[in-house]
Structure 1
Amino acid sequence: MGVIRLPDDVREEALAHVYAEFDRLKWEQVPPGERGAVYVELIADESFSRLLAPYFDTAQMRVWLKDSAAKEYPRALEGIGPAASHTKRGYPGPSVIVSATLGLDWSVVTDSIEQKPMRCQVMSAAGEAAVLIWGPQRMLSNLHWAASVARVAGEQRVVVAVTRHTMAKPAASEWVRVQALCDLIGVEAHSVMYMPRTIDAVGN
């Protein structure tokens, strides 16, 4: 049996409903072990489940929530993809990470932003170049792989920014491990606070 594709209008309405709840909960801060309960609550909400009921059974709804809606949400917070229009929150943008890691005289190269994981080319006022890769610590293996690929491709300076949603810095033992892994491939590691804000507040 092939994968069932939702009609575009149904998908958009379902995403709007789910992302309103993700926004309310600050989904990126919900521990993975607690997310299943949120899916259960959403499916129990008739205003949501009635949208998908003509196409999915309960198990398929959960799969859609986990593998489609939830996976797209981090990119939506970065303002990437059509699903971004359904969240009222957003990250302040890579320029914040650039300033925190490399300084105010560095900026993002136009049209260089890529995803999975998030990364871009950056340039200093003096003409120095680097690659910036960022994401939360739970994605460290993805960040490390992308950094390795950049180094193999010949990039001389690669910066990995491990993002966090609070002022609290990572535990010293955890950070030593992160730095050791990055040292193995000759890239820089930084811990940066990077959290979404309401859209009205972004850039203010």
Structure 2
Amino acid sequence: MALQQLPAPIRERLLIEIYQQANDMDWEFLSLTEKTNQYRRWIEDPKVGGVLLAYGPEKDARVWIKDVPMKEYARAQEGIGNYARYAVKRFQGPEEIVRAACGSGWAMKPDSVGEKPNHCYAIAGDSTRYICWGRAGNFRDLVWAALNEGIDSTERPAIVITTRNGETVSSAEHTRQERLALRCGADLRYLHREMVPNPDYLRATGGSDGPSQPSLID
């Protein structure tokens, strides 16, 4: 039996609780084993699994946690998507990426942010540049995206490798990434980012944003 539709207030409380815990434990730095163990702890947590199990079996509760809030967690930290308001902290946004990639004089094109990989367009006068960004582990996807974009653009695309506290890129990896970017006709930049308090988070906890979208697991 699939997990029943969650009432909007219940769903919102679950999202707030899970994202708060994920923030407290630095979810993105956990190993696969640690993440697997945390999914089990969430099922055992009265504030998470104790609520979900009232609407369906354990296996579907686990799938909901993995495929609904946590599948969107990285995007939420980028300020992208419907779940961004539940992230306790997030990065400063694509404007920071544009400054790192292009310098002053360029601005993010409105409504140009996309994903897979994260990307946007920067504009300066009549010029438009494609910029994609992500962690070093996603470099293959970033290169492929920049290569495809560069074929149809008169401006060089840009790749931004992002790091945060606790992450580094080795000199050997750095050198190879630069060579690959050069071969693909893309500029390569590195940006160390800090998480900042999410300016939208209080509206989520205050419940003033209206009803959340319902969620179903088939």
Q: TM-score, normalised by structure 1?
A: 0.83
Task: State the match for 2:111 in structure 1.
Answer: 111
Q: Which amino acid aligns with 1:80?
A: I
What is the distance in 2 between the residues matched to 1:8 and 1:134? 36
Partner of 1:181: 180
Q: Which residue does the alignment assign to 2:191?
A: 192
Unaligned runs of 5+ in 1: none
How far 1:155 moved relative to its partner? 5.2
1:110–1:44 CA distance, 2 compared to 1 (3 A): same
Unpaired stretches in structure 2, ≥5 consecutive residues? 200-218
3-state SS of the aligned residue for 1:133?
A: strand
Sequence identity (%) = 26
Aligned partners of 1:109, 1:172: CA distance in 2, in Å? 33
Aligned to 1:151: 150
Q: Which residue does the alignment assign to 1:85? A: 85
Which residue matches 1:166?
A: 165
Aligned to 1:142: 141
2:50 match: 50
Point out which structure has higher relative CO (alpha carbons under 8 A, 6+ apart).
2
Cα 1:67–1:175, aligned 2, differ >3 Å: closer, same or farther?
Answer: farther
* Secondary structure class of the residue paired with 1:157: coil
The alpha-carbon distance between structure 1 residues 145 and 12, as it changes in their structure 2 partners (threshold 3 A), is farther
1:15–1:86 Cα contact (<8 Å) kept: yes
Corresponding residue for residue 63 of structure 1: 63
- Tell me, in whole angstroms, the C-alpha distance in 1 between the residues paired with 2:191 and 2:175: 15
**Aligned-partner Cα distance in 2 for 1:152–1:54:** 53
Tell me the equivalent position of 1:27. Answer: 27
The alpha-carbon distance between structure 1 residues 102 and 66, as it changes in their structure 2 partners (threshold 3 A), is: same
CA drift at 1:121 = 0.8
Question: How many corresponding residue pairs?
Answer: 199
Aligned CA RMSD, in angstroms, stands at: 2.5
Normalising by structure 2, what TM-score? Answer: 0.79
Q: CA deviation at 1:127?
A: 4.2
Contact persistence 2:118–2:133 (CA under 8 A) = yes
